[in-house]
Structure 1
Amino acid sequence: MTNNINLSIEKLPVELLHRIFDNIDAETIFFSIRSVCRLFQSVVKTFDRFILNFQSISKSNFYKLCRSIDPKNVISLTLSNEIPKSNQIFWSISLVYFQQFTRLRSITFHDIDEAQFYTNNLTSICFLQLTSLTIKNLCQTIDEFQSFLLLTPSLTYLKCINGRNMIDGKRWEQFIEQNLFQLDKFEFYFHERRSITEQPYTDLELIIDSFRTSFWIEKKKWFVTCEYDMSSPETIYLYTIPICQSYMNYVSKSETNSLSTYSMIMNNDSSIISKTSSLKFTLNKSLANDIQEKKVTTNHRLFPKVTKLSLQFQKDWPIGIV
């Protein structure tokens, strides 16, 4: 006796289809899945967890999505300057459009400059429901950025790359304690150019001391590293561990001076670069010495998430070292 089982995706509950949609980008859902049949049109129409990524989208698709997807059904939004025309279209309607995102939980800005924040009146919108904010290639000063953060009091996750005059642990501590009570994770990668002093290492100590308070170490457990390349000591880098940038230019430890609030990780590259997917090596004698040392002291993969590697050879790179 055989049992005839009729397997069809159309028999799946709407809730299960919506769970599948959670892992599919909005363009695929709307332009591919929705057009399959009337049932899918209905299922897409009731979906209320769209993740809109305008980082790379055509002008026509942008208009179609804006006309067809109710902003109330969007929970995550990504904006970028990488596609100038699409970006200009979005900013032309940004204020009206943003005010309709009543269920928005996450925003990511790529290369959004200061003028776009203020010219488009984004600072007049209070994102009370927002829990996640990511800003890459931040162009604002710490004063301007913290003024914007006052509009996002419910943040639990904050990530920012670059910015101006951001290296001040005391100021960040006071601001977070007074305004971002729910912030659970804070990731950043800042760099700042300063006038060269006779004691650049002393500058590192002054900076890192502001991140050695009980707030950073015990309460939040947010650990940071501050460093400079000895070939260009005027540029100071400050970042949380692990590094939150997807791209990194790897510099040999012998060519940098660094201080960390968590000294145990200083010789553990796998902890520092666990989120980095693109890595650049400048192959020279100093790096060769680092590699030989790690062969002896390390028994695990140093860069587990790296999928793209760039190599630049210098004249002093030893022949035979791979």
Structure 2
Amino acid sequence: MVKQDFLLLPVEIVHRIFDYCDAETLLFSIRCISKYLCAIVEIYDRFALNWRYTSKLDEQYISHLIQPEKVVSLSFFGYEKIQDMLDIDINQFTRLRSLTFIHINGIELDKLFSTMTINSLISMSIDLCHISNVQTLIPSSSQFNNLSLSQFALHEVNKGIRWIMSPSIDKLKYLQIDICSYNEYVIILYHLPNLRILRIKNFTMNESTLNLNVQFYSSLKSLLITNSLITSVQLESLVKLTPKLQYLMIKNDKLRKFDSMFDGLFWEQLIRNQLTLLDKLDFFFCTSSYNDQINDLRSIVLPFQTPFWMTKTCCSVTCTFLIELCQIWLYTTPKITPNLEISVRCEISSMDELHHFISGPMHIGYNTKANQVCIGRFYLNVNINNKLLH
């Protein structure tokens, strides 16, 4: 391998490396190393300013060193930082591409959009606070409607926010929200024809909405639901609107009933019938081991060992019994599991026939010989006192 001196790299490559550095590192460290690096930092024009832990003195110094037109990303965290932001002219950042607010309320948001004339924004993330049920999700200011966002993330505290679809977001390709009902899900897909990635944290669905007669199909490519006890019936209602889905992730760390979401046959039929274009599937579910329906881990993994899973899908499935927590986890690999530091567990994969006893952090798999013991069969039995025997 040929070693390349960093100082001999083309300036364009060095600037690409700078894209992964924060402004403080560039201005307070790299800029001070040599005159050459100082000159390269001086002509860099893609600064991302993150006003979170920065002191006011440092903020003033950074603002003195960087011309506003060299800033492409701004992030404000907390009440004091947002108040400082409202006191400056945000329109001076003429090349701003990304804007993030953490803990901003509706009044502050409306004040911002009432004066903002920037039309270069393509990405926005908002963490709303102190929201009442009568407030709207999207500010009604005409200035907001002039934006051409392709990415939008909303994190709010309270429920009951009313959706208003404005011309500013009909070009969205990526949308991330914390709370979404089934009705809002349908509205999102209907009003955002260009949406390709939808990430939902908490999904809610009433039984009365399961039989809604929806007569359209979305071009959504990726659907990620990261913290919801969604049922198989609800999932079928969601994906019937997205026949072009290529990536699906369903993840929840809360204990749930041992239901059909643990059944490989259900997933196989769902993919065959409704998700024929699916390229990748990720899921994580957990249930209590105190369950008469579960006799051994292999019975859970067995439906994921059919020819369909071995040849038609690009994922393997692992079932894990966490002895100390008395929980059973079922998940696809690579893992999207909670990262427990110390865990004594028994794992079985759909790719082999062995139970692997492992002691260590969850990120250590059963390919690490030093911390595992393999056996051919492992049964779960529950006695009359509901104490686990093995």
TM-score by length of 2: 0.49
Q: 3-state SS of the aligned residue for 1:74?
A: coil
Does 2:267 correspond to 1:176?
no
Q: 3-state SS of the aligned residue for 1:158?
A: strand
The one of 210, 215, 224 equivalent to 1:134 is 224
In structure 2, distance between residues paired with 1:52 and 1:210: 38
Q: Is the 2:345–2:357 contact (alpha carbons within 8 Å) kept by the matching residues of 1?
A: no
The one of 190, 202, 207 equivalent to 1:111 is 202
Name the structure 2 match of 1:227: 320
Q: Is the 1:94–1:120 contact (alpha carbons within 8 Å) kept by the matching residues of 2?
A: no
Note the aligned Cα RMSD (angstroms). Answer: 4.8
Map of 1:1-322 to 2, 5 A cutoff? Answer: 21=97, 40=120, 48=148, 50-56=150-156, 69-81=167-179, 98-115=189-206, 124=214, 126-162=216-252, 165=259, 166-193=261-288, 195-197=290-292, 202-233=295-326, 235-245=327-337, 247-252=338-343, 255-263=344-352, 273=363, 293=370
Q: Is the 1:154–1:180 contact (alpha carbons within 8 Å) kept by the matching residues of 2?
A: yes
Q: Is the 1:47–1:73 contact (alpha carbons within 8 Å) kept by the matching residues of 2?
A: no
Q: Is the 2:174–2:196 contact (alpha carbons within 8 Å) kept by the matching residues of 1?
A: yes
Q: Is the 2:225–2:249 contact (alpha carbons within 8 Å) kept by the matching residues of 1?
A: yes
Shift, 1:195, TM fit: 4.0
- Greater per-residue helix proportion: 1
Q: Which has the higher contact order (CA 8 A, sep 6+)?
A: 1
Q: Is the 2:182–2:205 contact (alpha carbons within 8 Å) kept by the matching residues of 1?
A: no
AA of the residue aligned to 1:54: L
Cα 1:207–1:144 change in 2 (3 A) is same
Name the structure 1 match of 2:41: none
AA of the residue aligned to 2:305: R
Q: Is the 2:165–2:191 contact (alpha carbons within 8 Å) kept by the matching residues of 1?
A: no
In structure 2, distance between residues paired with 1:121 and 1:106: 25
Q: 3-state SS of the aligned residue for 2:271?
A: helix
Shift, 1:26, TM fit: 9.7
AA of the residue aligned to 1:259: I
Cα 1:52–1:170 change in 2 (3 A) is same
Shift, 1:144, TM fit: 2.3
Q: 3-state SS of the aligned residue for 2:273?
A: helix
In structure 1, distance between residues paired with 2:218 and 2:189: 13
Q: Is the 2:153–2:175 contact (alpha carbons within 8 Å) kept by the matching residues of 1?
A: yes
Q: Kindly tell me the number of residue pairs found equivalent between the two proteins.
A: 249
Q: 3-state SS of the aligned residue for 1:140?
A: coil
**1:37-74 deviations in whole A, cap 9, x for unaligned?**
67758xx9887552111124899xx99x9576533211
AA of the residue aligned to 2:153: N
AA of the residue aligned to 2:238: F
Shift, 1:238, TM fit: 0.2
Q: Is the 1:123–1:148 contact (alpha carbons within 8 Å) kept by the matching residues of 2?
A: no
Shift, 1:244, TM fit: 2.0
Q: Is the 2:346–2:358 contact (alpha carbons within 8 Å) kept by the matching residues of 1?
A: no
Shift, 1:104, TM fit: 1.2
In structure 2, distance between residues paired with 1:112 and 1:120: 14
Q: 3-state SS of the aligned residue for 2:203?
A: coil
Q: Is the 1:95–1:122 contact (alpha carbons within 8 Å) kept by the matching residues of 2?
A: no
In structure 2, distance between residues paired with 1:38 and 1:175: 45
Shift, 1:121, TM fit: 9.1
Shift, 1:128, TM fit: 2.2
Any stretches of 5+ residues in structure 1 without a counterpart? 1-6, 11-18, 82-86, 275-290, 295-322
Any stretches of 5+ residues in structure 2 without a counterpart? 1-44, 46-66, 70-94, 103-109, 122-143, 372-390
In structure 2, distance between residues paired with 1:157 and 1:269: 32
Shift, 1:130, TM fit: 0.7
